[in-house]
Structure 1
Amino acid sequence: MDLEERIARRQATRGDDLFVDRSPLNPAVHLPDPVGRGPVLERLLDVLDPVFDRRLPPDAAVYGPKGSGKSALVSALFAHLSDQFGRRHRRIGTTTRAGTAADAVEFVHVDGYRTTSEFQFYHTLLDAVVEESVPRRGVGTDRLRERLVEQFSSSARRAVVAVDHVGSPSSPDGGKLREWFDPVADDAALVVVGRAVPDDWSAKTVHVPEYRQHALVDILTERASRALTSGALRHGQARHLAEWASGDAHDALAAAFGAADIADADGADRIRASDVDAGIEDVPDDGIHVGRVFALPENRREVLLKLISLDATLPIDDAASAIAERSDLTAATVKRFLYELAERGVLERIQTDSTDGSGRRPSRAVPRFPTLPFRRLDGRRSA
């Protein structure tokens, strides 16, 4: 935290709010400099080292368990490398070991949660390497692919493309991704980021292990120092959250966010033990990353926001009717969305204790994501 940020923080803490800035505790937000990942960063830089000599690195798979910081590491590193080696940065006169703008290497980070089709993939890549705006309407996938190939037809145009969340239920798998990437494979390197190495992968791999407890405590402490008023999260509470999360930074941050949000809503000046317990309770066992939920279409997120405000015991039919009464959607559409979200793993269908008129036990929809960060952050964004 630099001096300017510290001064701004003091200015922002004149009121009674516990939060200074919710963003640093958001599990879907990555800080510019990841905490506790020095050795893994060096291994990834070893793979990417050829770019320092104006050569493309080999393809690589960065893999590890949920919440191990893969996305944080790759997105931060690519942002820094893009500043150093990217063509746009060269135009303002910076020189490095990588040479001039004529042989710049673009570093492109693609969020697999939001890039689920071939069209979106080519659009994202093209938008990263050209100056002009890339249209989304009136142009097809074939034309975007042709334009991308044209951009890489010059030997001076090269890129390293990292695709995050590969293999998750809402993202492309490794095979599909390599098929999409094939037209520019001679002029670009592919870095896939996911929980497992894709099938039939023969290129480089970099394993990202789960966080050790002390590293997770450091992450929570650093993030809380940016997000909350001084001393709002005690060291013992951070240690308790880290121990509970078992190396999963996503779950630890989600629980910390939930705890702080509850304390803030109650007017407390610090996070209490009961807030920590409630924050932990809000994070489902074997749940999904809240980033997947933020990446859903707006109408699905709106349905989820209304769902989590209802009685959790309501059967799906009753929940759909209640949501429809509060929105422009029909009950049938809401019900279809709920079943679709359950199929995608965002919700879980659990049978209720009661039976309907036919003697069957209807099911209810239970979120498989932390609802407190979603409710607060997506609700503020949608307001």
Structure 2
Amino acid sequence: MNLQERIARRRSARQDRSIIVDRDPLSPVVHRQEPVGRGPVLEQLLDTLEPAFDGELPSPVAVVGPAGAGTSAIITALFDALNDRLGESSRSIATTTRAGSTGPVTWFVYVDGRRVESAFAFYQAVLSVISAEPVPESGIGTDDLGERLTSQLTRHDRRAVVAIDHHDEPETLCYDRVRELLAPVNDSVSTIAVGQTEPDNWDADAGSTITIPAYRHHELVDVITDRASTGLAPGVLDHESVRELAVWADGNAHDALAALFSAAVLASSTDADHIESGHLEQAQTAVPSHGVHVDRTLALSETRQQVLAHLVDVDRDGRPIREIAGDIADRSTLTDGTVKRFLYELADRGVIERVPLPTTGSGRRPSSVEPRFPTLVFRTLSSASTTDDLDENPDTNTDGVTEENS
């Protein structure tokens, strides 16, 4: 965004007396083109990937960091910069010799494991970057897509560096499975495992590890300030509040941005002219301690997002799952049993948490459920609506493909 656009948007915000100038920079699911305070880590990664500049494959690497350390932001920013700076229209890196012949080509491919749960989806994600032709979304088999990938990388001068993000989260493709899917083109592909932990059985023979530390307080202050300066109108958030928010988030940029986003939404909803301490306190309450990234909820199917949206609204205090499921079913076209099954499934995924309730008998101890994600952010960003009926087919996602086959 150029300077003239920034000035125009801020003038508009002042005229409208709105707190939020642009929601995207405040969002914890939106990454900046240049992550704040991560220069040394970017240099480490560039050192690792440098062989690609000479047409060689870099060694495999695991990029590991705690929740909110910015592992995804760093990889996406780096891959975008490499493709944009060195690539052609095909998003490839190409070098030209003195004689004018085209040299080796290396594609940098980022795959979001939260949205890739099958071999078919994985091949689609990779081909969407390395193939100049449109990639079919249906009407073709997984093996056919695998053959297309192989044909793209059979030339000795065609290579790809594939980063699989969130490989260590429930329901995503694990790193070993990704390596199996890429086995036919093993000599043309290098991989990067991105997550909170290294892949299983990872050692020096498998590849190196780059550890990304949690943000220090002053670094997180810079992150929040950078986002607020672009997303908020001038003067609506004072520096002391920024500092306190950074201390509260304790190195977790996701939690800090989730609370900032929530506080801005709360302040806007009350027509306040600045973000007050009460808004921040309420926003922090809506961000669970040691919770999950809100993007994990946004990656769910439409139906499951709607179940979560209803879950946020219903009374949960001290109530067992069966009663909560009944309330959600009453607000939708789903049956009690289907909603209950979804709640148990989402608890197994770690998106919500089962909370034991007191028991008065000798039977099985009942439990309730509580969200483990930032509820205000989810409510604002989710495409799910609590006013519309849920899809009558609970096993169908928004693309109309049954989840068992997706």
TM-score category (smaller protein): over 0.9
In 2, Cα distance between the equivalents of 1:310 and 1:374?
15
- Residues 283-322 of structure 1 show CA distances to partners (whole Å, capped at 9, x for unaligned) of 1121111111110111100110111011122432222222
Q: How does 1:32-71 map to 2 (within 5 A)?
A: 32-71=33-72
> Given the alignment of the two structures, is residue 330 of structure 1 paired with residue 330 of structure 2, yes or no?
no
The residue correspondences of 1:8-47 to structure 2 (distance < 5 A) are 8-13=8-13, 14-47=15-48
Cα distance, 1:2 vs. partner? 3.5
The Cα of 1:249 is off from its aligned counterpart by 0.4
TM-score (norm 2): 0.87
Q: What CA deviation, in whole Å up to 9, does each residue of 1:201-245 have, x standing for no partner?
A: 221221111111111000001111111111222111111111111
Q: Which moved more, 1:66-75 or 1:252-261?
A: 252-261
Could you say which residue in structure 2 is the equivalent of 1:192?
193
Correspondence for 1:221? 225
**Residues 87 and 101 in structure 1, CA contact (< 8 A), matched pair in contact too:** no
Contact 1:263 1:275 in 2 (8 A): yes
In 2, the alpha carbon distance for the partners of 1:3 and 1:380 equals 35
- Equivalent positions of 1:302-321 (< 5 A) are 302-313=306-317, 314-321=319-326
8 Å contact from structure 1 (residues 90, 101) kept in 2: no
Q: 1:301 maps to which residue? A: 305
The yes-or-no answer on 1:273 pairing with 2:277 is yes
Question: Which residue matches 2:76?
Answer: 75
Instruction: Point out the more displaced range, 6-15 or 145-154.
Output: 6-15
Aligned to 1:4: 4
Aligned residues: 381
Aligned-pair CA distance for 1:16: 3.0
Distance 1:59 1:176 in 2: 15
- In structure 2, how many angstroms separate the alpha carbons of the residues matched to 1:100 and 1:266? 63
**TM-score in terms of structure 1 length:** 0.92
Aligned residues of 2:163 and 2:191 also touching (Cα < 8 A): yes
Note the 1:111-260 alignment, pairs <5 A.
Answer: 111-201=112-202, 202-260=206-264
Distance in structure 2 (CA, Å) of the matches to 1:134 and 1:333: 34
Hey, which bits of structure 1, 4+ residues long, moved more than 6 A? 93-100, 380-383
Residues 185 and 5 of structure 1: CA distance in aligned 2, closer, same or farther (over 3 Å): farther
1:381 positional shift: 8.8
In structure 2, the CA distance between the partners of 1:355 and 1:367, relative to structure 1 (3 Å rule), is farther
Q: Does the Cα contact within 8 Å between 2:267 and 2:279 map onto a contact in 1?
A: yes
Secondary structure of the structure 2 residue equivalent to 1:304 = helix
Greater shift, 203-212 or 307-316, is seen at: 307-316
Distance 1:318 1:90 in 2: 52
Of 335, 341, 344, the match for 2:349: 344
5+ residue gaps in structure 2?
Answer: 389-406
* Alpha-carbon shift at residue 354 of structure 1 (Å): 7.1
Letter in 2 for 1:4: Q
**C-alpha distance in 1 between matches for 2:61 and 2:91:** 26
CA shift, 1:181, in A, is 2.4
Q: Which moved more, 1:300-309 or 1:170-179?
A: 170-179
The share of aligned pairs that are identical, in percent, is: 48
Distance, in Å, in 2 between the alignment partners of 1:94 and 1:164 is 25
8 A Cα contact 1:53 1:97, kept in partner:
no
CA distance in 1, matches of 2:30, 2:385: 14
Equivalent residues of 1:107, 1:160 under 8 A apart: yes
Secondary structure in structure 2 of the residue aligned to 1:185? helix
Which deviates the most, 60-69 or 165-174?
165-174
SS in structure 2 opposite 1:113? helix
Alignment of 1:373 with 2:356, yes or no, is: no
Q: Which runs of 5+ in 1 are unaligned?
A: none
Deviation string 1:168-221 (CA, Å, 9 cap, x unpaired) is: 123222222222222222111111111112123221221111111111000001
Counterpart AA for 1:337? F
Q: Distance in 2 between matches of 1:54 and 1:159?
A: 10
1:95 to partner: Cα distance: 6.9
- The one-character-per-residue Cα deviations of 1:92-136 (angstroms, maximum 9, x if unpaired) are x99789997653211111101111111111111112111222112
* Conserved 8 A contact 1:85-1:105: no
- The answer for the alignment partner of 2:395 in structure 1 is none
- Cα distance change, pair 136–360 in 1 and its aligned pair in 2 (3 A): same
For the residue of structure 2 that corresponds to 1:334, the secondary structure is helix
Alignment of 1:350-369 (within 5 A): 350-353=355-358, 361-369=365-373
1: CA distance, partners of 2:75 / 2:341: 36
AA paired with 2:244? Answer: H
Deviates more, 1:136-145 or 1:68-77: 136-145
Superposed CA deviations along residues 231-277 of structure 1, whole A, max 9, x for unmatched, are 22211111111111111101111111111111111111111111111
What CA distance in whole angstroms lies between the structure 2 residues aligned with 1:97 and 1:376? 51
Shift of residue 27, structure 1, vs aligned partner: 1.0
Kept in 2, the 8 Å contact 1:67–1:210? The answer is: yes
* Cα drift, residue 336 of structure 1: 0.9
Distance 1:235 1:100, change over 3 A: farther
Distance in structure 1 (CA, Å) of the matches to 2:32 and 2:258: 15
* Alpha carbons 1:303, 1:334 under 8 Å: kept: yes
Q: CA deviation at 1:90?
A: 7.2
State the distance in 1 between where 2:294 and 2:51 align: 35
